[in-house]
């Protein structure tokens, strides 16, 4: 199928900006897809009229692709059809089940990973899907076009493109952290080398923070014997979109609900996927310690966790969710009174409610064990209306922009995290205000379109 | 208590060369302590008549210390009395439960470590015990004496000594791997810095392999802003002692038992502590895959694992042992016949039997996820009488000396490990013989006393 008009600029990512569902009559209905990457890319893509290539994930997506939908929600789109079994191997086993764990340091190494025959079959699927993405890109973009490839799902695409279409200007942007040279050795040797070579074949490889670019360079020098062309450009929140949601009647209703629920108490908030790297468990343990160490806070503070289920096709995520739920249950049983529930665990994925919580927090806890950037750490200060304190892990890429005015939370030290929450709650009003202004300033310094322009400016032919 | 004679040379380690038990009449009986460190240090200590300072671990040890025993099994000894509760915090919580996990990369980071108030109390115990060791050393050694401090239990001793007795010449030898700069950041910041500063205060810090010295240097430069004085000297097996055990009647009896049990079948052997870093589980999974992939081997090969319980005071080790036992049970249920048990799991800690197995193997599997050196990889080729093949993980420090003539086993890739076992079993006799000779040569190139002499030669005053 020919693309809809000339394609001088294409964005390639596993998940696209739009997903489909069936209405009651069986018709296809488009809706904006969630996720941080779409939020970050959307404004730039729309402004430039770029073509967005992504995988058709649901049955409705496939039907839309087969029906020839080429435009939806203001985006020019093109879908790849991938066999469902192949998609599971590429996406669940390799991308999310292996590369995500690798880059975030999440493996329990005495037990996982275990690269068995089934895993090797999945790796072949990953290679095939990456080749297919590259072939479609090569097929549809104009001479000398710019192609912006995204994330760990598609680490081999730029390598394929360098062979198929050396005329293209490319970037490979990695949204996750990047592992160390020691860690990449956990992968089978050829696999690690393929991934590095694939990324390094891009005209430039982008990262949200200097440390991930440095780690990637160290891997390339160690394994490929040469540096890659890298750049660093942290993504920015979409303020217009945040303002739209914050100003909605749905958000106002959620804020009223929150006001009623929390009352005069102080409010600690977290907003995350239920994700192993986000460190939910130690956040709750730190709060438990805080109530132990500071009896005066009992009954006076609520920890509201807006955490929504994610990747439940992976056993690790199901197990983690159960641990989260039982940890919260245990702490609530320990401390709750007739009029006070210490932890509110909300897994409903209610976006207006999360935005209301970000407007309302006294302390925002962002304590990942490792995180490429963490957009919530930027969105919180932009939305917050109470001079709330940001309690931030230095292992989040966003630390580089926000750390100066955040309270540091050590992700593994729950005694330290408890003390950090106490300092945040104790902070004098003047200091809270001063830091809140500085955080708002840091978080609004860049717009999504500037980030997108960095990607465009970095794009180069391979081997440039 | 004054030491027995002048002390120009002292060795300091948590575990000493001798432990005590009570006989039936309640009398104290000395016996040589097990463990690789004693085997490596023993010959040098005896030759130089060094004083050996260590912790009194059992009640019998304490009684011996109180009774003033200063000489046992040919060693001049001195014990530190440590309160049992304090010892558990220092030894179980910090040394084995934290520093061992750190340096071997064994943490399941979404869950562990969790530095809570109890952990901080344990860290204070660790500091106190280290200070106590340093105070006793400072008290008993002569002016300008040489002090050789060992391992992760005593990482702060050389720092204390540098302040108390700057006249001493010291080395801190680290027998484990050493973590990367990223990994040391998992510890609370002050704790990581204390450990690095403590080690770097030694006249010289020694390691079994270049990569661990490099990692330590990277940590020091990153955290302390300066390099440390390091040296690399891999420990060597005690050939005289191995020959003594191999020549014993007990070993001959065990060899007969093994011959009867294995018969004409080929024999894969492993000898290890039941230890998370040793990668027992993936070794069994690789064997399972081998039987799946190579039907002709069914009934024709036995995997004998001589693995003895260790650190059962830590929940992680109890859980790991159960996983090992259930994995073996499952694989045996899957493949066993009336006349063939595929895996023999022997947890009896029978040293003559382990030596017999090393004499008898066709393939020795040493596949750790990370290992400072691994003495078994050297002992095997020295003892083996069948031109057995060494299947070795490159993540063991011993790889540097033995890798050229071993078959490489990727510790996380069970498909690769299965293929490696197959190649080892398939190897033509001439190649086996050639490699066996080269391995024996590499493993016998150095003696324990030469290793000890390296430590002596490296010892310097602090800040040298």
Of A255-259, A424-428, B39-43, B136-140, the least confident? B39-43
Angstrom distances, CA of residue B71 to CA of A161, A426, B65, B452: 73, 59, 11, 21
Q: Do B106 and A109 touch (CB under 8 A)?
A: yes
Average pLDDT, chain A: 96
**Which of A105, A116, A187 minimises the CB distance to B414?**
A116
Please give the torsion angle defined by the CA atoms of residues B315, B317, B321 and B323, in that order, rounded to the nearest 10 degrees.
70
Q: Which residues of B touch A289 (CB under 8 A)?
A: 116-117
Task: Decide if pLDDT at B464 tops 70.
Answer: no
Q: Which two tokens stand for residue A152?
A: 């760990």
- Provide mean pLDDT across the span A18-33: 91
Q: Which residues of B touch A109 (CB under 8 A)?
A: 105-106, 369, 412
The residue written with tokens 């007990």 in the block is: B250
What are B11-22's pLDDT values in tens digits?
Answer: 999 999 999 999
pLDDT-derived band at B1 (thresholds 50, 70, 90) equals: very low
Where do runs of H (alpha helix) occur along A224-313? 239-246, 249-262, 280-293
What are A343-386's pLDDT values in tens digits?
Answer: 999 999 999 999 999 999 999 999 999 999 999 999 999 999 99
> Is residue A69 classed as helix, strand or coil in its secondary structure?
coil
Q: Strand pairing of A51-55 and A9-12?
A: parallel
Task: Decide if pLDDT at B3 tops 60.
Answer: no
pLDDT-derived band at B187 (thresholds 50, 70, 90) equals: very high
Task: Decide if pLDDT at B32 tops 60.
Answer: yes
User: What is the secondary structure of B53-75 as a DSSP string?
Assistant: EEE--SHHHHHHHHTT--EETTE
Question: Is residue B130 reached through a cis peptide bond, with omega within 30 degrees of 0 on the bond before it?
Answer: no
Q: B400 near B234, Cβ under 8 Å?
A: yes
Nearest CA distance, B275 vs chain A (angstrom): 9
pLDDT > 90 fraction of chain B, expressed in percent and rounded: 93
Q: Which residues of B touch A413 (CB under 8 A)?
A: 115, 188
Residue B145 CB burial class (10 angstroms; 0-12, 13-18, ≥19): buried
Task: Decide if pLDDT at A36 tops 80.
Answer: no
pLDDT > 70 fraction of chain B, expressed in percent and rounded: 99
Q: Do B120 and A415 touch (CB under 8 A)?
A: yes
What is the DSSP-derived secondary structure letter of residue B166? Answer: T
What length is written for chain A?
A: 464
Q: Strand pairing of A363-366 and A266-273?
A: parallel
- Provide mean pLDDT across the span A210-218: 98
Alpha-carbon gap, residue B414 to B276, rounded angstroms: 16
CA-nearest residue of chain B to A108?
B108
pLDDT > 90 fraction of chain A, expressed in percent and rounded: 93
Angle at A148 between CA A143 and CA A151, to 5 degrees: 145
Q: Which two tokens stand for residue A178?
A: 């990047």
What length is written for chain B?
A: 464
pLDDT-derived band at B240 (thresholds 50, 70, 90) equals: very high
- Strand-pair partners of A77: A52
What are A287-332's pLDDT values in tens digits?
Answer: 999 999 999 999 999 999 999 999 999 999 999 999 999 999 999 9
Q: B52 near B17, Cβ under 8 Å?
A: yes
Task: Decide if pLDDT at B216 tops 60.
Answer: yes
pLDDT-derived band at B116 (thresholds 50, 70, 90) equals: very high
Q: Which two tokens stand for residue B240?
A: 């005289």
Q: Which residues of A touch B105 (CB under 8 A)?
A: 109
Q: B340 near B147, Cβ under 8 Å?
A: no
Mutate to test the interface with B, among A106, A109, A316, A399 (most CBs of B within 10 A): A109
Residues of B with CB under 8 A from a CB of A: 105-111, 113-117, 119-120, 180, 182, 185-189, 276-277, 279, 281-282, 285, 289, 293, 320, 323, 369, 395, 410, 412-416
Q: Biggest alpha carbon distance in chain A?
A: 69
**Which of A111, A119, A415 minimises the CB distance to B116?**
A415
* pLDDT value of position A425: 98
Please give the torsion angle defined by the CA atoms of residues A290, A291, A296 and A298, in that order, rounded to the nearest 10 degrees.
140
* pLDDT value of position A32: 86
- Provide mean pLDDT across the span A97-124: 98
Give which of B419, B387, B173 is closest to B287, Cα–Cα.
B419
CA-nearest residue of chain B to A293?
B117
Q: Which residues of B touch A117 (CB under 8 A)?
A: 289, 293, 415
Complex confidence, ipTM: 0.96
Helix axes B239-246, B351-360, angle to 10 degrees: 90
Give which of A173, A179, A240, A224 is closest to A202, Cα–Cα.
A173
CA-nearest residue of chain B to A411?
B186
Q: Do A279 and B110 touch (CB under 8 A)?
A: yes
Q: Count of A–B CB contacts within 8 Å?
A: 88
* pLDDT value of position B37: 82
Alpha-carbon gap, residue B170 to B160, rounded angstroms: 11
Nearest CA distance, A312 vs chain B (angstrom): 17
CA-nearest residue of chain B to A178?
B182
| A420-423: Cβ within 8 A, 24+ apart | A420/A286, A420/A391, A421/A268, A421/A286, A421/A287, A421/A290, A421/A363, A421/A365, A421/A391, A422/A290, A422/A293, A422/A294, A422/A297
- Provide mean pLDDT across the span B268-284: 98
Alpha-carbon gap, residue A369 to A394, rounded angstroms: 9
């Amino acid at each position: 199928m020919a693309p809809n008009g000339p394609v001088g600029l294409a964005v390639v990512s596993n998940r696209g900006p739009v997903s489909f569902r069936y209405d009651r009559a069986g018709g296809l209905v488009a809706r904006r897809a969630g996720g941080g990457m779409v939020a970050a890319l959307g404004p730039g893509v729309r402004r430039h009229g770029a073509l967005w290539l992504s995988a058709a994930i649901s049955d409705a997506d496939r039907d839309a692709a087969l029906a020839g939908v080429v435009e939806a929600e203001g985006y020019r789109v093109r879908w790849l059809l991938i066999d469902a079994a192949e998609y599971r191997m590429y996406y669940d086993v390799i991308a999310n089940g292996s590369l995500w764990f690798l880059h975030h340091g999440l493996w329990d190494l005495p037990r996982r990973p275990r690269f068995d025959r089934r895993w090797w079959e999945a790796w072949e699927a990953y290679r095939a899907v990456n080749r297919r993405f590259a072939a479609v890109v090569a097929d549809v973009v104009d001479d000398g076009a710019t192609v912006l490839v995204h994330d760990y799902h598609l680490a081999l695409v730029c390598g394929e493109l360098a062979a198929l279409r050396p005329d293209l200007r490319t970037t490979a942007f990695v949204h996750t952290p990047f592992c160390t040279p020691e860690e990449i050795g956990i992968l089978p040797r050829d696999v690690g080398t393929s991934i590095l070579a694939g990324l390094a074949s891009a005209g430039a490889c982008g990262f949200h923070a200097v440390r991930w670019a440095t780690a990637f360079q160290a891997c390339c020098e160690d394994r490929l014997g040469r540096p890659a062309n890298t750049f660093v450009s942290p993504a920015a929140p979409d303020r217009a979109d945040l303002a739209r949601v914050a100003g909605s009647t749905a958000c106002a209703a959620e804020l009223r609900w929150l006001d009623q629920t929390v009352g005069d108490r102080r409010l600690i908030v977290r907003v995350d996927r239920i994700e192993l790297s986000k460190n939910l468990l130690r956040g709750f343990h730190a709060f438990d310690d805080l109530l132990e160490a500071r009896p005066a806070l009992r009954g006076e503070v609520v920890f509201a966790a807006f955490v929504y289920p994610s990747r439940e096709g992976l056993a690790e995520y199901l197990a983690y969710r159960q641990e989260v739920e039982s940890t919260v249950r245990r702490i609530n049983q320990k401390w709750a009174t007739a009029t006070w529930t210490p932890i509110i665990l909300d897994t409903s994925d209610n976006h207006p409610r999360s935005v209301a919580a970000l407007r309302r927090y006294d302390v925002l806890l962002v304590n990942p064990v490792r995180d490429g950037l963490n957009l919530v750490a930027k969105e919180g200060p932009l939305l917050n209306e109470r001079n709330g304190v940001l309690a931030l892990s230095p292992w989040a890429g966003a630390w580089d922009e926000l750390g100066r005015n955040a309270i540091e939370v050590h992700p593994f030290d729950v005694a330290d995290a408890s003390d950090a929450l106490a300092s945040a709650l104790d902070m004098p009003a003047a200091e809270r205000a001063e830091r809140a202004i500085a955080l708002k300033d840091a978080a609004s310094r860049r717009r999504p379109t500037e980030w997108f322009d960095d990607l465009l400016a970095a794009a180069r032919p391979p081997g440039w």
